[in-house]
A and B are shown apart, each in its own frame.
Chain A
Amino acid sequence: MLDYAWLMLLFPALGTLIISLFGTRLGKRAVSILAPAMVFLSFVVAVAAFVSLLGLPVDERSREVTLWRWMVVGNFSVDAALLLDQLSITMALAVTCVGFLIHVYSAGYMHDDERVPRYFAFLNLFILAMLTLVLANNYLLLFVGWEGVGLVSYLLIGFWFEKPAAADAGKKAFIVNRVGDFGLLLAIMFIWTGIGSLRFADVFALAPQVWPAGSAVVGAVTLLMLLASTGKSAQIPLYVWLPDAMEGPTPVSALIHAATMVTAGVYMIARSAVLFDLAPASGNWVAWVGVLTAFFAGTIALTQTDLKRILAYSTVSQLGFMFIAVGVGAYAAGIFHLVTHAFFKALLFLSAGSVMHALNGELDIRKMGNLRVKLPTTYWTFLVGAAALAGIPLFSGFFSKDAILFAAFEKQLPVWIIGVITAFITALYSFRMVFVTFWGQERDRRLFNHAHESPRVVTIPLIILAVGAVLTGYIGLPAISAIDGWLAPAFHPAGAAAETHSVALELILLVVSGLIALAGVFAAYQAYMVDPDLPKRVRASLGRVGRLVENKYYIDEIYDMFVVNPLRDLGGWLGGVFDRRGIDGAVNGLAGVTGWLGAQARRLQTGMVGLYALAMLFGAVALLAWLATR
């Protein structure tokens, strides 16, 4: 079965091809069935591959499937080949499963849009690119997938390109990601020059011999990878594009900008575990970037009033948690959180989409309230998602976040402290959303009366995702840690001894984080249900700091001031002054000189045939004289 894993890529590729070529002729209905069906087939293949991988002994659970020799240039050769191991198959399962559910949801959600075929063609293309990214067996193919998902992200953020905000957001995402991609490209070149191969297996086998632990080159490679990941996975300093990416359709936000694409950076760092183990300093950087991003994005999420933007900042924050995990070397925990997050964040986004749908596109939570009466299914699914996000005990986020915090506690105590505070904030803003949106009094009667539950094509994926959001947590129960044992060989092919944890310590920390989550929920209840003035008082007491947070730390403004505006001015100068005066001036000047020369030369053209003949004779004599005397 593993040899047929390429079918996973074939189906979405076929879907993209058919829909983009014949989509409009097939009609919305057929397209809405075809696209999810293709992803479902991919999912089936992924499950089959997973099962057959399970059937193999542990040390054989890594299989490469070479499709064709991609390019050979001198002694540089790259295969188009897939790597099937525990890590890639886990990612593939998450991508296809969540992807399929979101495709189904989209069929209902995008029903009224006139560009349904284009939408589904992009969405299928995204699945193709994402699977290429996670299944690649070398860095170059990974880069292809990396760029592919970036492209689709751009296309789908700007899907409603008539809206200037959407078009701008698409551009912003693309350009900011470019900064990160440049890092990845440099890292790949470093790897090639250092090791002479881009195949994961070769790189990880040779890296410890070529690069001594802590050497400068491996540090540069890993830091460049970190740069790439901060772009794709929206970490400080390149996270600015993700909140704006919410201009795209909500299912896109759920699939690309929450569940799958943005986790690519985490995946790549986890995949390059061997390299990061060689560069402990880079690992620290990763962890600190992660925890700071988690904290600051969490605080921003507290002050936002747009439902999708809150979720966007919470995504940034949760990705920060994953970075903490891979930074402190707890790769399995990071991937574990990645998977649970994929489910509960997709669930939250899709529920938010359902709310938005019900309220005619309204996303301001200040205009909502008491919606649980009108949208019971959406309320419950959202509640499950929020509980998982907040880390309420027994929901998936609880286990995965705890696994991360436990790892941080062991390796980096300061990181753990900030992480715990962030966990509290997470619970606070999660339940702020729940309370403000679904509880209390309705604030806008007209919107409230208009509200209606979404159709079943929307709610059924929500329910399935809700079940997933609860259950995925149990694959990583402490002390059992199925996912840990499953994934571990993928990170340390050499077969490093599994670390033994103190179960008692882990349980104590588990209780602590559970309590913290509950405290967050309680605080949210106090602030938004019992005493609605409390947030205002808190804000007043915070003064300047409060304003700073409310304005998202002025990061966008700082970028505008130091990056965007100087570049725009430079562009304006180049276009207005340099191009017009310098380049155009040179060209026009040249034309002017030529014209002047022509005006002088036309005087020679007397029209007197005699003179012409004379000149010709002169030439002939000169030529003959030269020939004769040569």
Chain B
Amino acid sequence: MFLFVVFALIALAAAVGVITSRKPVYSALFLLLNFATLAALYIMVEAQFLAAVQIIVYAGAVIVLFLFVVMLIGGGELDDIGGRNKKFLARLTWPRGIALVLGLGLLVAVGYGLLSGQLMTATNDAAAFGQGSVQAIAAVLYTDYALPFELASILLLVGMIGAVALAQPPKKD
């Protein structure tokens, strides 16, 4: 329980950091922290394999991509959350106000929805589920989910080709 609280606080702090940093590179690094703590939380819910994937794919590939883009466009300060020395209320333009209200509404609605069921009970801590292991996942993935799995690989291929095509500089006529 102690570990959960620690990681949860780190994750929330990192998330707030992502959306409040002025420099994109800080945001990216906060995001990395967020992803890493999530990986730890995955382990706590018996999803060891996915925790590994989380580190490799998100913390490894995705964040590196973000950092590359930040590097390409330059990591200067952003002014889209208002000037540094403005008061909080001055930064609160009306779309932001609405966004905050709606965000709170979302939190309430999602929370209510999630918790209105019988989820307040403690976990089903069945020993049988100590199987978020590679074998268990593979057993399902390569049998029941063989087709979606293959399709996922095609999706990745398409994504790759698309990215290459988009990133090419426009042809000079």
Contact = CB atoms under 8 A, between A and B. Distances in A.
A614 B99 contact: yes
A613 to B, nearest CB: 9
Interface of B: 95, 98-99, 102-103, 105-106, 109-110, 112-113, 116
Interface string A612-626: 001001101100110
Nearest to A611: B95
B95 A610 contact: yes
B13 to A, nearest CB: 23
Interface in A572-630: 610-611, 614, 617-618, 620-621, 624-625, 627-628
A257 to B, nearest CB: 76
A331 B113 CA distance: 92
A628 B116 CA distance: 8
A621 B107 CA distance: 9
Contact of B109 (A610, A611, A614, A624): A624
Contact of B102 (A610, A611, A621): A621
B95 A628 contact: no
Contacts of B95: 610-611, 614
Contacts of A628: 109, 112-113, 116
Q: Which of B95, B105, B116 has the most chain A CB atoms closer than 10 A to its own CB?
A: B105
Nearest to A629: B112
Interface residues of A, number: 11
A627 B106 contact: no
Q: Is the interface of B mostly helix, strand, loop or mixed?
A: helix
Q: Which 10 A-B pairs have the closest CB atoms?
A: A624-B109, A621-B105, A628-B112, A628-B113, A617-B102, A621-B106, A625-B109, A621-B109, A621-B102, A628-B109
Contacts of B103: 617
A231 B11 CA distance: 95
B102 A614 contact: yes
Contacts of A614: 95, 98-99, 102
Nearest to A617: B102
Q: Which of B103, B109, B110, B116 has the most chain A CB atoms closer than 10 A to its own CB?
A: B109
Nearest to B105: A621
Nearest to B116: A628
Contacts of B98: 614
A622 to B, nearest CB: 9
B63 to A, nearest CB: 23
B113 A617 contact: no
A617 B101 CA distance: 11
A136 to B, nearest CB: 66
A624 B109 CA distance: 6
Contacts of A627: 113
A625 B102 CA distance: 11
Nearest to B98: A614
Nearest to B104: A621
Given A617-B106, A621-B109, A628-B116, 12 more contacts: A610-B95, A614-B98, A617-B99, A617-B103, A618-B102, A621-B102, A621-B106, A624-B106, A624-B109, A627-B113, A628-B109, A628-B113
Q: Which of A614, A620, A627, A628 has the most chain B CB atoms closer than 10 A to its own CB?
A: A628
B100 to A, nearest CB: 11
Contacts of B112: 628
B113 A624 contact: yes
B14 to A, nearest CB: 22
B87 to A, nearest CB: 22
A533 B83 CA distance: 121
Nearest to A626: B109
A628 B111 CA distance: 10
B81 to A, nearest CB: 13
A29 B109 CA distance: 91
A627 B109 CA distance: 9
Nearest to B109: A624
A608 to B, nearest CB: 9
A618 B98 CA distance: 9
A618 B103 CA distance: 9
Contacts of A621: 102, 105-106, 109
Interface string A398-411: 00000000000000
Given A610-B95, A611-B95, A620 B113 contact: no
Contacts of A620: 106
12 contacts: A610-B95, A611-B95, A614-B95, A614-B99, A614-B102, A617-B99, A617-B102, A621-B105, A624-B110, A625-B105, A627-B113, A628-B116
A610 B80 CA distance: 13
